[in-house]
Structure 1
Amino acid sequence: MSKTRMTVGQAIVKFLNQQYIEMDGKEEPFVDGMFTIFGHGMVVGLGQALEEDPGHLRVYQGRNEQGMAHAAISYAKQHNRRKIIACTSSIGVGAANMVTAALTATINNIPLLLFPSDYFATRQPDPVLQQLEVPNDLSMSASDCFKPVAKYWDRISRPEQLMSAMVNAMRVLTDTANCGTAVISLPQDVQGESFDFPDYFFQKRVHHVARRVADDYDIEKAVEMIKASKKPMFIAGGGVRYSEAGQTAMDFCKTFNIPVSQTQAGHSCLPDSFELAVGGIGVTGGLAANALCKDCDLVIGVGTRFNDFVTGSKWVLFRNPDIKVLAINTSEFHAEKLDATRCIGDAKVTLEAIMAKLKADGYKSGYTTEIQDIRKVWEEERLRVLGVQYKGEGFGEGKFVPCVPSWTEKIMNDFVDQIGGTITESNAVGILREEADDDAIVVAAAGSLPADLERLWVTDAPNSYNMEYGASCMGYEIAGAFGAKLAEPDKEVYALVGDGSFMMLNSEIPTAMQENAKITVVVFDNCAFGCINNLQMGNGVGSLATEMRHRNETTGKLDGDYCYTDFGKIGEGFGMKAFYAKTPDEFRKAVQDAKKESVSCIIDAKVLPKTMAEGYESWWHIGVASTSKSDEVKAARKRIDDHLAEARMY
């Protein structure tokens, strides 16, 4: 058996260069490169190997470990999980910075390969710089923090352990049912240790992504359930997108006259113009899907985790007492949720198998004109919301027209007086949709924007909606846009980000500038964590530390004047082209001008608070106080209890 002597770091790089993925006869390299922020933990170990002979791997210079890993997540998502960028960090704080991203990838079932550095395996220099010491367990380090948020975790304390560790990491990263974060923790001394690795370890490895068809029993049960239903609802989750089963889902729904909704992860897996598409569903969904759920007798969930936003906290979808759930998924865990009848298999081939049997039996749903009628009503409402604008009359002292709760009056009036912005959030989404290219990629993650986008953003371009809403991780937006641009350099990419998320993590802007990867960052500045301020005040709690206001010397509270932030100047400091907008016309012009630029742009849009789209026949279960002196809180709690009385229990 031939062998080659090399360091652990060199072996990792050589191994990654030989990993390929194959699906439907298409074979391509699996690992594009590696994000890194070099530190003492690996700059002379794994870093030496990347400098000496990277092969085809491209080395990307991150600015924040969480941010670079977010970019890697978005890159993998944009490639439908068929291509990844690995990430490496120093020990201690550098490693811990990636834990949030590891959680985000695992929740969303996106492949993320992390190489956090670790303390010396020999422990002789201990405690080294940045080493976490646990007195009752000296084997523990910051890298152990990854264990609950990873699908696979390993620590390489001897060079020969690398072989089984890397094979297992690839197993998880290419597993459609168990995909998520794989963590290989690398002690900094071991990275530089040499070993005679067998050459077969470095042979080309092709990881076949199998399209598993559900077994005959599962297929028959699914067919029986659908045949017995009169008004089924098809929910297309991320699994439809990653299976590239959008066309199959449309064929299925068209053949049997079944409405199809999309989750945040599934959005853009099929065109919104499809005649049976009814938009988003649940808490951030629109009127069409949620209204049809009232009489729905069967939920056909394909590739979805059925989180509380999709199910309306088990209330919106489950008002029919006889409703049943069919779950088509490669994951047995997800398919067992909601007491569903499970059908374990790939979305595309399993739908094809079910469709063939239903065709033979001549099945059609019992819908007549309901789908088309509600689509028309919803489209009129969607356009109305997109067109809502500030008029300067008819609200309070003459500031605002739309019907909004009375408690928003002072907030909105203060914003207009002090900040000057009169753009409504929903109108801004509409303007951007009108001006952006048809195939432009929109990226967002947290706050009210995911709800506005799922309800209001329409696209027929496949994979053009990149929403991180499994973790709703603030800070994903800009890094995610950069990752999407790396994946699809010929498309315009927009990061839609609130002022709160921008302040939390904008670190990968200089990396995008460094790579000449043009992204357009649209900052929706409403001087607040606006979504949470709505949740807070809408449930009877006073505005507390959710608006960006100066501390009031008289009251001692954060209820003074708004804090004005010039986001354009921040972008210019990174080398971006800045545009400013306080009115809808200025915003439209900014979007138009940004499209003409070849460099990354930032649009500083001052957006009037409380102007996001409202919910449509949905409910979200939150923990409102059951004891309070406030009548408003008591009323909010009663609303929770009333909904709980109707919700199904699983």
Structure 2
Amino acid sequence: MSQHTRRLTVAQALVRFLAAQYTERDGARHRLIAATWGIFGHGNVAGLGQALLETGAHAMPFHQGRNEQAMVHAAVGYARQCDRLSAMAVTTSIGPGATNLVTGAALATVNRLPVLLLPGDTFATRTADPLLQQLEHPVSPGISVNDTLRPVSRFFDRVTRPEALIASALQAMRVLADPAETGAVTLALPQDVQAEAYDWPEEFFADRVWTVRRPAPGPGELAQAVQAVRAAERPLLIAGGGIHHSRAEDALKALVDATGIPVASTQAGKGSLRHDHPADLGGIGHTGTAVSDALARTADLVIGVGTRYSDFTTASGTLFARPDVRFLNLNITPFDAHKMAARPLVADARAGLAALTEALAGHGHRVDPAYEAEYTEGKRRWERVVEAAYRADDDSAVPTQTQVLGLLDAVVGDEDVVVNAAGSLPGDLHKLWRARSPRQYHLEYGYSCMGYEIPGGIGVLLAAPGTPVWSLAGDGTYLMMPTEIVTAVQEGLPLRLLLVQNHGYASIGGLSAQVGGERFATDYRYRAADGTFTGDPLPVDLAANAASLGMDVHRARTVGELREALRTARAAERPTCVYVETDPDNPNAPGAEAWWDVPVAEVAAREAAVRARKTYEQHTPGIRRHL
């Protein structure tokens, strides 16, 4: 063998290659692939499994998962906490293990968060055909179940020859490290190819640094942006997740302090300003605050920074109602920068905000004092709404869900991270939570995937050891994916699970009632005599379940007990669950301040749907396409 090559299997070569990849931004270097998650089956045990064992934990740390989808969620939570500068790989066998990756891959790509997927695949040589768990396609024998990952991956390749890995692996790293292109990246690895040996060039294993760019705005686009801001009488800035990914929070604060422009936040952007900053108005859109949504309806310039304008943010195209409203979008991704027929400012969020602040400073620009006084008073009124929702004076009462959040708010510190994704909690959190630091509010609401909370929290703990992390889950989302509790126990990670029992899908139950569905099949109840799910609540004991998986569990039946349980959990040094049953008849949450388009049956025999349709038709004329 030549002194310039090394003979390894494809799997061994890939693991060594991944261990030598780095990102660099602002002079700081990070491992691009910090660790690998895996569950082994016949499609990867003799390939990647053997390679990880041989390479060793120092070169490539390994985490043992319990559910393939959950492993991706943990990797995504890790990548988000690391501002996309570091990611993780996930390996599974061909078959159910591979297809279980699809939901996690979709979540990663929707949220623009990097994760490397390494599923096994059927034999490239086709000597064993059909293979166990193989999908036999009558038209194309080259199709495998891994092709389900194509539409949810930003890059996909099936590596059918050893030498093909070199170019494919380099392309995979490029996409993972590119802030405008990142998402799920899939390298499907036929199990026979994984074990095949090849003479690899030594250069393939050399340290390689992928520079994460901070492109500045073009002079022409910047000049147009300055002109738009100076001409606006009622500007409103929407802070999206791109501000966090870019670590642009200080740059945002500098712009706001200089100009007085108020800031409303998407789910991903909440915490871009501290909640007590005078210009922070809280969430925007269907789950937004009254002050944010009121200003959005009268804004003449909407400045979107790092946002992709989901339907929750725009209230399904009804929120920005002023006839002459215009949009200015600062985004590193041109696809998002051009949305809403906006003036685009294609740049890194931090670089773009700094350039805009500097350019405006030369003009001494600031919003009218009357406008500042207006939104300051609106913020003050909304704070009274939050205080009312959080207030829990009767220690013997069963808490409402918003009181649960208020009691948690009183316990957490600035460094704590709150993780959530689905159910009724995201709406309450977006309206009410008072984010105290850029990383405290960790909501996965791009895909709003039930089951994300526990593995996502584990990912955050792996990225930020010693950080108090709270995974907030309702009973519906808990039942989807509690399995990674075992991983937290195995790894000695002090995850704090706040488990809220409200006997069903509370969020969709409420939506069902609004759209004429009459809460059909949304409660967890026995069947009644008429066959409907309207009997007594099911006698499930989720606290016992969490304890059986290895958690310390504290049951809280009252406000007083919950207050004490949360304090105990905050000081815990091992996985701990606080279990609380809320009062479903008294949600105590402020109502929606903006609409959300969920089409209602156009014809129906039941009166509830007929009424809901009339209400729906009152809103649809407000839908607007910004052209």
For normalisation by structure 1, the TM-score amounts to 0.93
What letter is aligned with 2:579?
D
2:102 aligned with 1:127:
no
Determine whether 1:215 maps to 2:190.
no
Residue 481 (structure 2) pairs with residue 505 (structure 1): yes
Which amino acid counterpart does residue 56 of structure 1 have in structure 2? A
Matched residue, 1:342: 344
**2:535 is equivalent to residue 560 of structure 1:** yes
**For the residues of structure 2 that align with 1:612 and 1:493, how far apart are their CA atoms?**
26
Provide the residue aligned with 2:107 in structure 1. Answer: 104
Contact 1:237–1:264 (8 Å) recurs in 2: yes
- Contact residue 32 and residue 177 of structure 2 kept, 8 A: no
Tell me which moved more, 610-619 or 569-578: 610-619
Is 1:647 the counterpart of 2:623? The answer is: yes
Distance (whole Å) between structure 2 residues aligned to residue 632 and residue 222 of structure 1: 48
Give the distance between the partners of 1:315 and 1:388, measured in 2 at CA: 35
Q: Secondary structure at the match of 1:369?
A: helix
Deviations 1:65-93 (A, max 9, x none): 00111000000000111111110000010
Deviates more, 1:491-500 or 1:356-365: 356-365
Aligned to 1:609: 584
Measured against aligned partners, the alpha-carbon deviations of 1:290-335 in whole angstroms (never above 9, x if no partner) come to: 122222111100000100011111112x111111111100111111
- Residue 187 of structure 1: how far off its partner (Å): 0.3
Task: Provide the C-alpha distance between the structure 2 equivalents of 1:577 and 1:388, rounded to a whole number of angstroms.
Answer: 26
Is 2:359 the partner of 1:357? Answer: yes
Name 2:229's counterpart in structure 1. Answer: 226
Mapped contact 2:78–2:459 kept (Cα < 8 A): yes
Matched, 1:387 2:391: yes
Query: How far did residue 543 of structure 1 move?
Result: 2.4
Q: Which of 637, 640, 646 matches 2:613?
A: 637
Matched, 1:204 2:207: yes
Q: Residues 286 and 615 of structure 1 are in contact (CA less than 8 Å); yes or no, is this contact kept in structure 2?
A: no
Q: Distance in 1 between matches of 2:418 and 2:174?
A: 31
Give the alignment of 1:488-499 within 5 angstroms.
Answer: 488-499=464-475
- The answer to whether residue 490 in structure 2 is matched with residue 514 in structure 1 is yes
Q: State the 1:612 CA deviation.
A: 5.5
- Cα distance, 1:614 vs. partner? 3.3
CA contact (8 A) 2:395 2:560 kept: no
Equivalence map 1:1-80=2 (5 Å): 2-54=4-56, 55-80=58-83
- 1:394-451 per-position Cα deviation (integer Å, ceiling 9, x unaligned): xxxxxxxxxxxxxxxxxxxxxxxxxxx8220000000011012332110000011011
**Structure 1 segments unaligned to the other structure (5+ residues):** 393-420
* 1:373 and 2:377 are equivalent in the alignment: yes
Task: After TM superposition, give the deviation of residue 581 of structure 1 in Å.
Answer: 1.5
Aligned-partner SS, 1:4: strand
Structure 1 position 631, deviation (Å): 3.2
Kindly provide the amino acid, as one letter, of the partner of residue 42 in structure 2: H
Structure 1 letter corresponding to 2:322: N
Partner of 1:578: 553
Partner of residue 169, structure 1: 172
In 2: Cα distance, 1:280 partner to 1:617 partner: 11
> Partner letter of residue 584 of structure 2?
P
Report what 2:451 is aligned to.
475
Task: Name the residue aligned to 2:325.
Answer: 323
Identity across the alignment (%): 39
Q: Deviations over 1:161-219 (max 9, x none)?
A: 10111111111111111110000000000000011111111111101011001111111
Tell me if the contact between 1:390 and 1:424 (Cα under 8 Å) persists in the aligned partners: no
**Residue matched to 2:596:** 620
Where do 5+ consecutive residues of structure 2 fail to align?
Answer: none
Alpha-carbon distance, 1:390 to partner: 8.2
Cα-to-partner distance string for 1:360-399 (whole Å, 9 max, x where unaligned): 122222324012111110101111111268899xxxxxxx
1:599 aligned to 2:574? Answer: yes
The residue matched to 2:317 in structure 1 has which SS?
Answer: helix
Query: Aligned to 2:23, what secondary structure does the other structure show?
Result: strand
Alignment of 1:449-464 (within 5 A): 449-464=425-440
For the 8 Å contact 1:451–1:613, the answer to whether it is kept is: no
Q: Give SS of 1:494's match.
A: strand
Two-structure CA RMSD over aligned residues (Å): 1.5
Q: Please say if residues 13 and 50 of structure 1, whose CA atoms lie closer than 8 Å, have aligned partners that are also in contact.
A: yes
What are the within-5 Å matches in structure 2 for residues 415-454 of structure 1?
Answer: 422-454=398-430
Q: Which residue of 1 aligns with 2:267?
A: 264
Counterpart CA distance in 1 for 2:523 and 2:393 is 22
Query: Secondary structure of the equivalent of 1:132?
Result: coil
Moved more, 526-535 or 482-491: 482-491
Instruction: Report 1:533-572 matches (<5 A).
Output: 533-552=509-528, 554-572=529-547
Distance of 2:24 and 2:523 partners within structure 1: 49
